[in-house]
Homo-oligomer: A and B are copies of this chain.
Amino acid sequence: MPSVDELPRAVRHQDATVFLLDQRRLPGEVVIEAYTDAMSVERAIREMRVRGAPAIGMAAAWALVVELERSAEQDPQRVRRHIEQLAGHLRAARPTAVNLAWAVDRMLVRLARAPAERDALIAHLADEAQRIEDEDRAICRAIGEHGLTLLRPDCGVLTHCNAGALAVSERGTALAPLYAAGERGLPVRIFAAETRPVLQGARLTAWELGQAGLDVTLICDNMAAALMAEGAIDLVLMGTDRVTANGDVVNKIGTLGVAILAHHFGIPFYVACPSSTFDAATARGVEVEIEERDATEVTHVGGVAIAPSGVKVRNPAFDVTPADLVTGIITEHGIARAPLGINLRQLLSAA
């Protein structure tokens, strides 16, 4: 029986090397590449060979460790300066990803406190990278356990984009309850929406759930309403990039549409994320600037043109789902329900 534990990990550190699963080549090829210096990892992050906010944070943390492990430099001053420079580059590789800056900053704080001696310094930074990874793993497991309480035998669950094992240390956020169900032998019918334009649902979610032996069916994004109407969907589970103070959810384009459909059909709509995704400094979702990405993502699929050349295109990468369309937010500390802004804050401050 395949399981989530047999999935190749998105990011792994071993033998002074960072191993990254090249997510751009999935599902056609499973290619794991070895990185032995920090700037190669920085390039892999920029090129989205590794993606998912927690995963790129981990990749950056381990990149700094590997750089030290491979360096012959002994002078403590020069070692520190070099690491700080690299940290600046890594931090800027994807400027919008909060977790990337957060992970790099944790490594810099640890660097500042670590002993000067080379082996001890490496041990301290490796310990910090391992903590980031272990914490992420624990968070995913906790989200999985809380989310599992929402699942019933043979229920149909719709998910969108990829908030799975490929985006984090393991198990993912939105997919964690589904992996937990698989482990307990609870049968769940999972529907993965393909998630145009970049097709993370088709390429990544359908792949990782299938690899783990779960029952997954791929649909086009526009089929969600028909499946809800026929009663195939009992629950929606989504990830998120940011939750604002009032509980608005910023997530992959298409999330808002699914939330409105779920509301129309009276289907619970849940969002899963680590508590670090909660952005108390931003009052409402409309204040978040939505990145408009390149037209070729829409006009081309796998290098093939699917639209008239030169056609005008809109390509917002994210949308904002108002809090009142969200049934609950599943965090590592439990599930917050309406009114979301207040209950999320209570849940997080109690934890």
Residues of A at under 8 Å CB distance from B?
27-28, 191, 193-197, 199, 202-203, 206-207, 210, 215-227, 229, 253-254, 256-257, 260-261, 263-264, 290, 298-299, 301-316, 319-320
Contact = CB atoms under 8 A, between A and B. Distances in A.
Contacts of A196: 194, 196, 220-222
A150 to B, nearest CB: 23
Contact of A226 (B226, B302, B319): B319
Nearest to A318: B226
A199 B302 CA distance: 15
Kindly name the residue among A193, A203, A302 whose own CB sees the greatest number of chain B CB atoms within 10 A.
Answer: A302
Given A218-B299, A257-B257, A314 B194 contact: no
Contacts of A299: 202, 218
Given A195-B222, A202-B298, 4 more contacts: A218-B299, A221-B222, A223-B315, A261-B261
Nearest to A195: B222
A206 B313 CA distance: 10
Contact of A306 (B194, B221, B263): B194
A53 to B, nearest CB: 19
A264 B264 CA distance: 8
12 contacts: A28-B305, A194-B196, A199-B307, A202-B306, A203-B307, A216-B312, A220-B315, A257-B257, A260-B260, A301-B302, A302-B304, A304-B304
A215 B260 CA distance: 28
